[in-house]
Amino acid sequence: MKRLFLLTGLVFSAFAMNGQTVYFSQDFNSSTNYTTYQGSPVTANKFDAIQLAGNTTVNATNNKLQFVKNGGTGVNRGSFTRTTNFAGAPATGPGFLKYSMDVSVSNNSADVASGFRFMFGDTFPITPAAPANGNIHSGLYINPTKNAGEFKVESESNTQTLPNTFTGTQTVIWYINNTGADAGYKAPDGTINTVQDDYADVWVVSGNTKTLVFNEEPALTPAKTLKNFKLTNNPNFTATIDIDNIVISEEPVIVVPKIVSVAPVAPVTVPLKTLFNLLPFPTEVEVTYNNNTKDIAKITYSPLTNYNQYLLGTYQVVGTITPNNGTINPSKISVATTVTVRDNIVLTNTFSPNGDGKNDTWINEELARYQNTSVEVYDRDGRRLFQSTDPKIGWDGKNANGDVIAGSYFYIIKVPDLSMAKRGVVTVIK
């Protein structure tokens, strides 16, 4: 048996809330009869059509809209459809759309690959079946799992597979960018995030826990607009979804500085047998934005396939810039440097522990290029004054009595990676 509720000739109006243009807002508090939320009288906060087929049912209970899927194949589906463009939105639909809803799942007992399906696009039919993928700009699934009350939030494009599962009532917030340019927005965790044109971010929020489930998820069909909205389900599973507090709004776009250039970074010189992960790469670089301001951004380096710690010579290395919060690197500008491997290790033989903040500690930076190094310092009477296996910890120049006395002291430095046990003299200058 097929039940259809359809209304045409709709007139909608948008309104502002917290500085945002809201196109659709429904908390399902006005009635326990689900037909109230479609049909006459029409407001901006109703569906054009609610259609059910087979043993799929709908309830408006506990101030929530409840969509019940009772298994079955074929026509055992249901849908809630908004087929008209949102009033106040451009003719092509919203530009940067924010969709928020509270959801929970129950009566589930199996993992579902494609369960409750939410979509934005254009030319959506009012039949229970989902529209063709070619009409969907962006979509996501709420997929029940085999564990009672548990669900996953999964992408229509399915380019990111994440292990996140959720239970209880969760707020799903979906940001879809269709503005024609990169856009920034204030994320639920308070940071400024960016999303490319025709991409989407999806957050799941519960109390103080805020999870970015999808970061830059590509649109299914970028050419489509965001004029229509539809919720439907696939057959062959049993579960109930409760939906509350649906809000569809125009997200204010935050202008985000773009990295347009980077300063050069210093070359790196290391002794033989230095492992790639111990190379002393610069970790930060100065970047310039399109608004002519400058900042410091972090750099990360990927291992070189041709790097050979045993082979002398120079290697070219490219570092990836990590944009700071609220900035983007749309041109994927990177930094380049060189790594030169030489055959000697540089050790220092003097230092001045006089408290002036300069050269106060005897430390040999190149020992940090190796593992399992050790340093020992002795006075003329053979008393050990210092010993360390951490190359980042240096000798402060003090003798057995805690005094700094100028003069020469003996050291033993062992570097197993180089089969080296070097003995020498370090001079304390005051």
What is the DSSP code (8-state) at residue 34?
A: G
Grouping H, G, I as helix, E, B as strand and the rest as coil, residue 37 is helix
Burial of 370 (0-12, 13-18, 19+ CB in 10 A): buried
Measured CA to CA in angstroms, residue 307 lies from 267, 301, 339, 370, 372 at distances of 15, 13, 9, 16, 22
The average pLDDT across 181-200 equals: 92
Measured CA to CA in angstroms, residue 97 lies from 140, 178, 190, 391 at distances of 14, 8, 18, 53
Question: Tens digit of pLDDT for each residue in 199-210?
Answer: 999 999 999 999
At 342, is the pLDDT very low, low, confident or very high (cuts 50, 70, 90)? very high
Query: Which long-range contacts link 380-384 to residues 24+ away (Cβ below 8 Å)?
Result: 380/408, 380/409, 380/410
Of 263, 255, 279, give the one whose Cα is nearest residue 321.
263
pLDDT at residue 4 in the model = 32
The average pLDDT across 213-236 equals: 92
The average pLDDT across 248-252 equals: 94
E-state strands within 180-237: 183-186, 192-195, 199-206, 209-218, 228-233
Cα-Cα-Cα-Cα dihedral sign, residues 216, 219, 225, 229? negative
Report how far residue 46's alpha carbon sits from residue 13's, in angstroms, rounded to the nearest whole number: 12
In the chain the domains, ranked by start, together with CATH numbers, are 2-250 (2.60.120), 259-342 (2.60.40), 350-428 (2.60.40)
Tokens linked to 206? 């519960």
pLDDT at residue 6 in the model = 31
67 pLDDT higher than 80 = yes
Report how far residue 32's alpha carbon sits from residue 59's, in angstroms, rounded to the nearest whole number: 8
Q: CA 14, 17, 18 angle in degrees (round to 5)?
A: 150
Under a CB-based contact definition with an 8 Å cutoff, are residues 125 and 228 in contact? no
42 pLDDT higher than 70 = no
The residue count of the chain comes to 430
Under a CB-based contact definition with an 8 Å cutoff, are residues 259 and 331 in contact? yes
The average pLDDT across 224-240 equals: 92
Under a CB-based contact definition with an 8 Å cutoff, are residues 246 and 23 in contact? no
pLDDT at residue 10 in the model = 30
Report how far residue 425's alpha carbon sits from residue 403's, in angstroms, rounded to the nearest whole number: 19
pLDDT at residue 19 in the model = 54
At 43, is the pLDDT very low, low, confident or very high (cuts 50, 70, 90)? low
Question: Tens digit of pLDDT for each residue in 125-173?
Answer: 888 888 999 999 999 999 999 999 999 999 887 666 667 899 999 999 9
Identity (one letter) of the amino acid at 188? P
pLDDT at residue 11 in the model = 33
Token pair 């310092």 is found at 377
The average pLDDT across 36-48 equals: 76
Q: Which residues pair with 38 in a beta bridge?
A: 47
Report how far residue 351's alpha carbon sits from residue 113's, in angstroms, rounded to the nearest whole number: 66
